[in-house]
Amino acid sequence: MASIIDLSLPISTLLKTGTAAAHEKAEHSQGAGWLTRGELDREEYVRFLMMLYHVYDTLERALDKHAANSVLQPTYNPSLLARTPSISSDIAYLLQTPESSWQSHPIHVELQSSPPGPFAAYKSRLQELADSQDPSPLLAHAYVRYLGDLSGGQFIRRRLAKSYNLEDGSGLSFYDFRQLGGTGSSTMGDMKKIKDWYREGMDAGVGDNDDAKAALLEEANVAFELNSGLFTTLRPPTGSASVSPAQPPL
């Protein structure tokens, strides 16, 4: 049953309540389970990071390009939020290659030559918004990724550290954030402060614009769908009972 949406609420509240069902679906998908339980084969986790690298690269270039947009400007803070550089350094660490050369690794070459449909769809949607007259729906994409990384990401980090032997923190910089207004690493309390700052920024940028609120809510649900799509591209863990037939070696 369609729920009634009260557009007088601030966008931060609308996004949280209006994407709760899509969050539930993404969180409980098979691929999310493999990821969060640290069950993905190490190479498959790297392949997932490579897809995220391109998603963030497309998103963050678009946010740079439209930094002055009034809806996007209050939450535009690449030195705090940008994930492209940290994902690149994690991939290089996990593959034990210099950062300048992971893009020629066979896993990446395969991803580029035959990109899975949902991965291509995610990048296309972001590029379409980057190129459009009204790029403000990019805020919905930034919200879905960054607030997710600042929330569930911290739980995932602990599981990955155990599974892939990364307990000294190397290879996990994707999940690290600087403190708001500082240079040190964020604790969970600092992450909450960043999330509150982000919500305030969204509310300030969107204000009382009901059309913008409705468009952002719709786009945030699209963003969750695109993330669920990415999870469907994950190859089952080779130790899993659901591997049938056996996966070819990477």
> Of the ranges 53-61, 95-103, 120-128, 140-148, which one interacts with ligand VER (CB under 6 A)?
140-148
The single residue among 67, 155, 185, 210 that binds ligand VER, judged by CB under 6 A, is: 155
Q: Which of 227, 234, 235, 236 binds ligand VER (CB under 6 A)?
A: 227
Question: Which of these, 135, 137, 154, 146, lies nearest to 199 by C-alpha position?
Answer: 146
Which of 26, 91 has the CB closer to ligand VER? 26
CB atoms within 10 A of CB 123: 18
Closest residue by Cα to residue 198 from 214, 211, 180, 210: 180
Q: Torsion-angle region of residue 81: left (phi > 0), alpha (psi -120 to 50) or beta?
A: alpha
**Binding string, residues 2-41; x marks residues near ligand VER by CB under 6 A:** -------------xx------x--xx----x---x-----
Our finding on whether 144 is near ligand VER (CB under 6 A) is: yes
Looking at the annotation, which residues are catalytic? 28, 56, 144-145, 148-149, 153
Q: Across-strand partners of 185?
A: 178
Q: Which is nearer to ligand VER, 27 or 43 (CB)?
A: 27
Q: Is 157 in the site for ligand VER (CB under 6 A)?
A: no
Least distance CB 57 / ligand VER (angstroms):
16
**Nearest-angstrom CA–CA distance, 67 and 128:** 17
Other residues' Cβ atoms within 10 Å of the Cβ of residue 104: 9
| Residue 62 interacts with ligand VER (CB under 6 A): yes or no | no
The CA radius of gyration of the chain, in Å to the nearest whole number, is: 18
Q: Measured between alpha carbons, how far is 95 from 189 in angstroms, rounded to an integer? A: 32
Contact between 233 and ligand VER by CB under 6 A: the answer reads: no
